[in-house]
Structure 1
Amino acid sequence: MKMRRIDHIVLTVTSLEESSRFYHEVFDMPIIDRQTSDSVITLRCGHQLIRLQKTDRPTDLKPAKPTVGSADLCLVAGDKLEDILHHLRSYYVDVVAGPVEKHGSEGEMTSIYVHDPDSNLIEIAVYKNK
């Protein structure tokens, strides 16, 4: 079996509206599906999707213990780090760490870290020479 890529991730959130607003406005991710009756909102992140779900989502297809605030993920940005920092400040999003030099799947990168409304740790990375 050859895995090619990640298609989507699912984040368990407290408020679909607050979280979708954060990812849509702060990270400019378009909302492509809003199934609030199923407690799911889907956003596009590059070629992948991020789905937001509530802990009480009415489905058996979810983790055994969906937990708010337990995710740790890295988003790759196409902007300059100084522009990202300015943008985050304009939305009153605190940087909790960084910038730090890291090594990602495509090589050297510089990362900063923020928390989303549910305290998930979001790494924002900018690759060098890309």
Structure 2
Amino acid sequence: MIDHLDHIVLTTIDLEACKGFYIDVLGMRLETFGEGRVAFRFGHQKINVHVRGHEFEPKAHLPVPGALDLCFIASCSLEQVIERLEGHPWPILEGPVKRTGATGPIRSVYVRDPDLNLVEISEYLQAPSA
């Protein structure tokens, strides 16, 4: 019944810091839509952004900053990801470490975004299975 994830919604307390991380550090593209809404686009997905206290309805039952634990698959090597993080500089909490992703084994680093959401950035250790 479900084919893929289209978007998720992230709640932030500081829109500019949030944009700086997802656009400048992670390289996502800024998208504006609707009545001044903001999203970060990557691949065929996006992250819609709500500013705490100004959420779009309907919203999550308890939309709070720092409640997400996200895992992204990088479009480059994990070494290049680490170089980019170090170049901004953005602290790596853990990694590289081996984990299990949705389609097989991955190697990951962990960081926190400005709202303290946990962000895992990974590469596949073998070609993903369908």
Q: Give the TM-score of the pair, scaled to structure 1.
A: 0.90
Residues 110, 125 of structure 1: 8 Å contact kept: yes
In structure 2, the partner of 1:24 is 23
The Cα of 1:84 is off from its aligned counterpart by 1.1
Aligned length: 127
Amino acid in structure 1 at the alignment position of 2:77: K
Deviation at 1:59, TM superposition (A): 3.6
* 1:34 Cα deviation from its structure 2 partner: 5.8
Contiguous gaps of at least 5 residues in structure 2 = none
Q: Residues of 2 paired with 1:92 and 1:58: CA distance?
A: 30
The percent of aligned pairs where both chains have the same amino acid is 34
Taking the aligned partners of 2:55 and 2:109, their CA distance within structure 1 comes to 35
Aligned twin of 1:10: 9
Q: 1:73 aligns to what SS in structure 2?
A: strand
Q: Distance in 1 between matches of 2:104 and 2:18?
A: 30
Aligned-residue RMSD, C-alpha: 1.6
Q: Is the 8 A contact 2:74 2:123 kept in 1?
A: yes
Distance 1:59 1:31, change over 3 A: closer
Q: In the alignment, which residue of structure 2 is the partner of 1:88?
A: 85
Unpaired runs of at least 5, structure 1: none
Q: Structure 1 segments of 4 or more deviating over 3 A? A: none
* 1:63 has 2:60 as partner: yes
